[in-house]
Amino acid sequence: MKPSKLGQTPVVRTILPNGLTIVVKSLPHLASVSVGLSVDIGSRDEQPHESGLSHLIEHMVFQGTRRRSTRELSRVISAVGGNLDACTGRESTAYYAKVPSRYFHLALDVLSDMLRAARFQPAKLKKEKQVILEEIRMYEDTPDEYAHDLFFQALWPKHPLGRSILGTRETLLNLKRPQVMDFLQRHYHPGRIILAVAGNIQPATVVQAARQYLGSMPLAKRSGTEAPPARWLGGRHLLRRRKLEQVHLCLGVGGLPYTHKQRWVALALSNIMGGGPNSRLFYEVREQRALVYTIYSFMDFYRDTGLAGLYLACHPRKARRAVRLVRDILYRLTTRPITDQELRDVREQMCGNYLISLETSSTHMWNMIQHEMYLHRHPKQKAILKSIMQITKSDILSLARSFFQRAPVASAIIGPVPNKLREDLQAWENEK
């Protein structure tokens, strides 16, 4: 697979005197520029009584600054054809915009204004808590989303990674403005912030603008309350009975950290297992036996751990048959090498997906954020493609065995669950 010219521009990395990290990829063939400010803080960094605080802050920075109202923050970006958004994860919180490249300074001005000058007015804080309560209700009424949240609890029952990013009703309503401001002062400092910019822009322009908008952010020491290491315990099965048409099931095991040398092997395994219509789970469980409509696998990677999981939804009468078939498919992945055709297909698929993704400035921005946050370096496109093309059948077999033959399985089940289904999962666990 030949590299694409779209991704071969080097990443230019600069650190300002106050500790802010800047990463830029110049893509002169594009009309857009994507600008992201990522803070190295997420839900796993919260204390139990702070659960949901990172997500609440993400909401509140859109509720007005000293220079702009809530409406104005949205208007100035949408008025030039751009978009402004944010997301909270378990290990980071990101604020980002995509605009025509000539409006780069506007995008960075707005984002830095949100991070540095958000007002956090008590009335707005009270109002936004109600918005998030509705968001929590929405997730709980969306069984596939709720199953994934519950799955994290099953994987890490006594660790911050197992808590919902949104928090709970109780923790959210108990959060007060002094706690919010204290959390900001402890964690939102330039040493924990990455500015990632990709698109039709020159690195020197970005660095100059970063000095203007963010260079005066004060230095601060890291908080002494670092997130505890995640220890994979596994084997927990959580059940929530509900009157639904389908049973929703997440099942899986602890996985690899982002820095692991076999991360690309794990992604290849996931693609073969349940990465699309050509995958084993999709073909055998849906296409051949019509037991499900939705089934897929997924891999998540964090600082010191990860997960390998799958999700399916089906009629209660089909649930036990579906799980037995999934178990058989995973067993075959751990006992027999994949075929030569599967290996060729997964390599080409992963390389092709990667190269196609490079056609947008936002992909480059997110890649730089992840690489800087986890690796502190920026692999070249050629090296990434080489890593994918060097994956072997024995690599995939070995990793499948380490995931599904030796590791304890965890699960989360929601819906009208058949009485015997949980027993089936526990029996599966006991036979390892």
Q: Report the helix count and the strand count for the chain, using DSSP H and E.
A: 16, 11
Are the C-beta atoms of residues 13 and 84 closer than 8 Å to each other? Answer: no
- Within 187-337, strands assigned E span 193-199, 237-241, 247-254, 294-301, 306-314
| Rounded-to-5 percentages of helix, strand, coil across the chain | 50, 20, 30
Report phi then psi at 243, rounded to 5. Answer: -80, 90
**Can you tell me the distance from the alpha carbon of 380 to that of 386, in angstroms, rounded to the nearest whole number?**
10
Residue 423 a catalytic site member: no
> Measured between alpha carbons, how far is residue 113 from residues 14, 28, 67, 69, 241 in Å?
21, 27, 8, 11, 45
Q: Of these residues, 50, 58, 128, 372, which one is catalytic?
A: 58
- B/e letters for 342-372, b = 16+ CB within 10 Å, e = fewer, are bbeebbebbbeebbeebebbbbbbbbbbbbb
**Can you tell me the distance from the alpha carbon of 339 to that of 324, in angstroms, rounded to the nearest whole number?**
23
Q: Catalytic residues, which ones? A: 58
